Amino acid sequence: MAAAAFADALKRSVVGWCIGATGVRDLAQLSGGASQETWSFVIVRPEGDIAAILRRSPPGYGSVSGRAAGLDVEAELMRLACEAGVPSPQVLHVLTEADALGAGFVMRRVDGETIPRKILRDAQFAEVRPKLARQIGSILAGLHGIDGAALPSLRTISSTEEIGLLRDDYRSMGWPRPAFELALRWLSQNDPGVSKAVTLVHGDFRHGNLIIGSDGVRAVLDWELAHRGDPMEDLGWICVNSWRFGEIDKPVGGLGSREEMFEGYEAAGGRVDPDRVKFWEVMGTLRWGIMCCGMMQRFRQGPDHSMERAMIGRRSSETEIDLLRLLAPRN
């Protein structure tokens, strides 16, 4: 869709569902990919403008991931999160065929920062940084406490199934890596099996998907990998060393200790199983390593030889070191 036609379609859509809206302005694409786009714009209204974000898959495109929940499901999960007190942008409208914009939804824009380097280094976050690990624990407890009966249709996956999926992805590459072999064997030997507590799991709770301000976490974004499963998965994923950005002695996203996160989680009504958290931290580290290898393969095979894919691909070696530190630490 041409830029002018897209802008016209967005204006018609917004005027149709937003009471008092007369148009849109300051339309700008924030990111683009093979299937999903993010657009920033302002809804113009005499009663006061609304800063908004459109997240969409253009017509004719499907999900890039068989794990993705779908944008309509993302929107519903964000609505449920808001109702449960989990910081999340307010969903204003879910696109329909009449909007002629593809699949997606419009939400209120939330001000704040998502870039890890700034969150971990800039002076404006200095006061709130020591509080974030505990706050993250509290938010995850609230997320996992969302009523399962109210959830939309989501895939349910156990630790055993996840090991099998990762093993298949790894073997399909034909790229032997001893550290990955060690991790797969450890995961199989330490598989906790089906969790007694099966809850909503965000699936990608980490830097980049959290909007943070000087007052703390303001919004949880990108629910596309949400599913039902072991709630300890989210606690393990945020502790993967790749999300610490150099602050390796602060496991929770380079912000604080596991104990601080656990305290926040349990103070908000959750129950922590540290052994399961470690299991999912190992699983998450291996998963990210395999994803990095996949990026390198796509860079090599083309047709899109993007430098970004090559740079992500080379990080697979970092995950090998991380796995060895987790599974074969030096005395």
In tens, the pLDDT along 95-115 reads 999 999 999 999 999 999 999
pLDDT at 61 over 60: no
The confidence score (pLDDT) of residue 304 equals 66
Q: How would you class 72 by CB atoms within 10 Å of its CB: exposed for 0-12, middle for 13-18, buried for 19 or more? A: middle
Give the CATH architecture of domain 10-108: 2-Layer Sandwich (3.30)
What region does 270 belong to: left with phi over 0, alpha with psi -120 to 50, or beta? beta
The pTM of the whole model exceeds 0.75: yes
Given a contact cutoff of 8 angstroms between Cβ atoms, the answer to whether 247 and 240 are in contact is no
**pLDDT given at position 69:** 78
Q: What DSSP element (H or E) covers 270?
A: none
Long-range contacts made by residues 117-121, C-beta under 8 angstroms, separation at least 24? Answer: 117/245, 119/207, 119/212, 120/245, 120/246, 120/247, 120/254, 120/255
- Section 163-182 average pLDDT: 94
Distance, CA of 68 to CA of 127 (rounded, Å): 36
Amino acid type, 233: E
CA torsion sign for 315, 38, 218, 275 is: negative
175: three-class secondary structure by DSSP: coil
Give the model confidence (pLDDT) of 17-49 as tens digits.
999 999 999 999 986 444 578 999 999 999 999
Any idea where the domains of the chain sit in the sequence? 10-108, 116-327
Q: Which of 2-16, 241-255, 287-301 has the lowest mean pLDDT?
A: 287-301
Identify which of 82, 101, 80, 98 has the alpha carbon closest to the alpha carbon of residue 90. 82
pLDDT band at 161 (very low <50, low <70, confident <90, very high): very high
pLDDT in the model for residue 64: 43
Element (H, E) at 183: helix 178-189
214 or 313, which is more confident: 214
Is the pLDDT at 218 greater than 90? The verdict is: yes
Nearest-angstrom CA–CA distance, 60 and 82: 31
CA distances from 159 to 196, 206, 266 (A): 12, 20, 23
65-79, 221-235, 240-254: segment of lowest average pLDDT: 65-79
What pLDDT was estimated at residue 59?
Answer: 61
Q: Cα(124)–Cα(113) distance, rounded to whole angstroms?
A: 11
Taking residues 61-78, report their average pLDDT. 76
What CATH number matches the domain at 116-327, 3.90.1200.10, 2.60.120.260, 3.90.190.20, 3.55.50.30? Answer: 3.90.1200.10
Distance CA 220, CA 213 (A): 12
Closest CA to 104 of 112, 113, 95: 95
